[in-house]
Structure 1
């Protein structure tokens, strides 16, 4: 037996209907209270009847009543006012500092034993998805409800990262947005370098030059350190000349070209190509990042993000190295990934910051219009009979796996709760 299981029983009132304290008083649960994940009693603001008296207050739960002393609650005044002590085994009576005995409810024989057997089967499973053999029995309505909550939680978690960045930019949301968008163009390999590149220039400078694409590319390529004095030709020469002026004007510090990675990646994903494509996106919106937030129609958003690298890059992947001609355009799958992993968390965060629900609703609407992701996690669930209709579903599955399945948090998972309680 463990406390997590007892928390679960108490939270969802899965005990027998006729409960009595160890001294014989009837117990009626009106509200189990709110779970406390910080220091102090396990539940706040519970409302229960003990005998003829209605009580409102805090609850403490232990496997054995004597755990009260193991946890040093007898020395902590925060525990002196609990209204009832919930235990699996009442091996000792607990008193307040006044000498009064705290009412105890022993749960040992107050729930169906199959609950604990099913719980143990789940949390002790060696499978990374503990309920893999039971998922097909989950009702569709349960899946819909849980997926909506999970997708929202995933957006909340991503928006928290936006909030953390805001703390480093004095609350400048559009500076954060520029950094996040730049990061998305770097993929995982060059994400840090792209974010640092955007940071070295800044949104305000980008905005001043956003109507001139060549100046945007001069800023990014010059500051990136990816171009040097030995590279000639009309385009490289313009980039170098223009950047020399802009660097002096804005006191920009160059990145080291050593931070950029080209090995073991498709040439279409080289940072040179992605920098040019990103410049194209910023040019499309004239540096006004709010344009990416204000579109209900996801196809219009996709169009704004649809950018091809400059003409020079049709015949180059790196400065000076000419190759056969090919237009380097951002593909539709890549655009949707940028929307899903970058634009949506930004817009969601913007809605939270401004208090405008329309932005949050817009994100939910967008996610229902994007195809589901195809990755190791979604394929695993698909093999177990859990299909995904759109990105809302696939994001929910990723959150489910990372936050619940991997951590064996079956009692906090709606699927686990349904499987255990039947």
Structure 2
């Protein structure tokens, strides 16, 4: 038994509400269960209850056992002075207010149907990947689709908080925020944090001033990512070293020394050298990129923004000083899709929220236009009967798994509540 199950029972009145009595025999009539705010203090606020002949308005606190009141030291916390009813599963001790009057207690175990309790215990007893994996495929499309939208925007809200922190750090420069997030996601999971450090290690004004030269941008990115501090033979790379020294002196930023970039387990097209060269080519090709991203109306327009050619050196190299077969190393649509999912949509959402512009449907439409992501979580959901047709759905599933399934918040999940009801 978990306390959140008792919250669920009280919030939705999932127990026999007629003929309720306190542990001392007084009748209870619930007029309003109250607001479940999940904040510090009592569990439910502004409840309205008739106990005996007296109508009360105040807060309700819920515990597994009455004695938990003292275990949690509520007797010393003024936030609990306004509790009008103590709802517990097991009443094992009376609880008193500071004036020594006893707080009325409702012992729920006497009013919950055995069938409902068995449903709950059966759900949490499953030792599977997620608790409901044997039943989730039976959930109706109506329940699932409404919950998907909520999950998707919850995920965007979380990302938006990180973006707003970057905005604060960059003195409200949205172009700088976009650059930082692009750098992070160009680095993928392996080098993302290092690329983000690189992007934050110099003012974005340096990019604005040096964007006319792709070699200058490459020197800046490679140098600040600690990739030029070696003895090289290729004249192109030696030129980048000299250019980096010049830029650091010219713009007076401190050379940063981070951990080394990771090449291991990457396909050559995802090498950090190639991704940084592509990032440099992007900012050489597109000035005012943030404004252009905000103005795009379709996924095809975003693809066009990111279709570019990197400098000729990288057509015959994947790493410094190591020549390879010539190949045009363009960004694939699948890589651009990842950039749209993890950078463009979150930045767009955060910006439009900041100016109170409602574009939820446009964002959903953009996510729906992107093919479903391929990862372990999405594949596992597919195995248990939950299929995804687009990135909108896969992003919702990632939020579901991370924030609900892994946190065991079945009773705050529309799917879990639906299964318990049925």
For 1:219, the equivalent position in structure 2 comes to: 220
Unmatched segments (≥5 aa) in structure 2: none
Q: 1:239-254 counterparts in 2 under 5 A?
A: 239-254=240-255
1:61 corresponds to which residue? 62
3-state DSSP class of the match of 1:56? strand
**How far has the Cα of 1:124 moved from its partner?**
2.9
Distance 1:399 1:367, change over 3 A: same
Q: Deviations over 1:168-206 (max 9, x none)?
A: 444444333211111111112222222222223331111
| In 1: Cα distance, 2:226 partner to 2:91 partner | 70
User: What is aligned with 1:33?
Assistant: 35
What is the Cα deviation at residue 58 of structure 1?
0.9
Question: How do 1:136-151 residues align onto structure 2 when only pairs under 5 Å count?
Answer: 136-151=137-152
2:179 and 2:143 map into 1 onto residues whose CA distance is: 38
Partner of 2:398: 398
> Which residue number corresponds to residue 8 of structure 2?
8
The question of whether the paired residues in 2 share the 8 Å contact of 1:159 and 1:346 is answered with: yes
- Does residue 265 in structure 1 map to residue 266 in structure 2? yes
- Any conservation in 1 of the 2:226–2:260 contact (CA below 8 Å)? no
How far off is 1:60 after superposition? Answer: 0.8
Alpha-carbon distance in 1 for matches of 2:74, 2:363? 46
CA distance in 1: counterparts of 2:231 and 2:292, whole angstroms: 37
Alpha-carbon contact 2:194-2:258 (below 8 Å) kept: no
Where does residue 365 of structure 1 map in the other structure?
A: 365
RMSD in angstroms over aligned alpha carbons? 2.4
Partner of 1:98: 99
Cα distance in 2 between the residues matched to 1:252 and 1:265:
31
- Distance in 1, matches of 2:77 and 2:232, equals 72
Matching of residues 128-277 of structure 1 within 5 Å: 128-227=129-228, 230-233=232-235, 235-236=236-237, 239-256=240-257, 259-277=260-278
Flag the 1:78–1:333 CA change in 2: closer, same or farther, 3 A. same
Alpha-carbon distance between aligned partners in 1 of 2:93 and 2:81, rounded to the nearest angstrom: 16
Q: Is the Cα contact below 8 Å between 2:26 and 2:51 reproduced in 1?
A: no
Conservation of the 8 A alpha-carbon contact between 2:3 and 2:62: yes
Q: Distance in 2 between matches of 1:66 and 1:226?
A: 61
Unaligned 5+ segments in structure 1 are none
Q: What is the match of residue 407 of structure 2?
A: 407
The TM-score with structure 1 as length reference comes to 0.91
Shift of 1:92: 4.1
Counterparts of 1:197 and 1:36 in 2: how far apart (Å)?
Answer: 39
Please say if residues 194 and 259 of structure 2, whose CA atoms lie closer than 8 Å, have aligned partners that are also in contact.
no
Residue correspondences, number: 419
Counterpart-to-counterpart distance in 2, 1:54 and 1:357: 43
- Residue 237 (structure 1) shift: 5.7
TM-score, length-scaled by structure 2: 0.91
Matches within 5 A, 1:42-81: 42-50=43-51, 53-81=54-82
- The Cα offsets for residues 329-387 of structure 1, whole Å up to 9 and x where unpaired, read as 111101001110122222222223333223x5443221111111121111111111111
Instruction: Tell which deviates more after alignment, 296-305 or 171-180.
Output: 171-180
Are the counterparts in 2 of residues 89 and 106 from structure 1 also a CA contact under 8 Å?
A: yes
8 Å CA contact retained: 1:207, 1:288: no
Secondary structure of 2:318's aligned partner: strand
SS of the equivalent of 1:108 reads: helix
SS of match in other structure, 1:351: helix
Output the CA distance in 1 between the equivalents of 2:180 and 2:212.
19
The alpha-carbon deviation at position 27 of structure 1 amounts to 0.8
